[in-house]
Amino acid sequence: MKIYVDADACPVKEIIIEIAIPNNIPVYLVKSYAHFSTQDDPDGVTSIYVDSEREAADYRILSMLRPNDLVITQDYGLASLALEKNAYVLHHKGFIYTQENIDYLLEVRYQNAQARKKKMKTKGPKPLTQEDKNQFRQAFIDILTNFQ
């Protein structure tokens, strides 16, 4: 298993690294050059930089992804495509994307986009809470435990 993180806006990178590295699971942080850092990655972590184009990180992750790898993203489109490649997919708030819930999530995203085009207000995501981080930690550990 390898872990691919859609890293530009991922607020749980530290949790991922803290748990994955002692378990010898490689972590790939895929981010745009706009987020370039000269800071060295810890052993077992690799930063992969892509152009700042809208879907560049998604395409890079998908090109490297293999069955049973894990993707961490809040992007429903990337989640859907990763599921089709038989990967595990986890949201940074701790819910697991599945074939059973992805169609609903994509439909809600579409409906919200249509409402915004009509100048209607839609709710954005709620701020990340400590409870969300705890839920992510547990779901992440569960996936890694079930994989081994």
pLDDT for 107 = 78
Q: At what angle do helices 130-147 and 13-20 cross, to 10 degrees?
A: 30
Average pLDDT over residues 109-121: 72
Q: Residue 99: which CATH number? A: 3.40.50
pLDDT for 109 = 64
The DSSP code for 130 is H
**Pairwise pLDDT comparison (33 vs 13), residue with the higher score:** 13
Lowest-confidence pick of 30-39, 56-65, 120-129: 120-129
DSSP 6-44: E-TT-TTHHHHHHHHGGGT--EEEEEEGGG---SPPPTT
pLDDT for 130 = 96
Strands 96-97 and 45-50: unpaired
pLDDT for 148 = 62
Q: How far apart are CA 74 and CA 109, in angstroms?
A: 12
Average pLDDT over residues 123-143: 91
Q: How far apart are CA 103 and CA 29, in angstroms?
A: 26
Domain that holds residue 44: 3-147
User: pLDDT at residue 141 above 80?
Assistant: yes
pLDDT for 108 = 77
- Residue 99 has a CB neighbour count (10 Å cut-off) of 9
C-beta of residue 4 within 8 angstroms of C-beta of residue 64: yes
Q: How far apart are CA 88 and CA 3, in angstroms?
A: 9
pLDDT for 2 = 97
| Count of the separate structural domains present in the chain | 1
What pLDDT band is residue 102 in, cutting at 50, 70 and 90?
confident
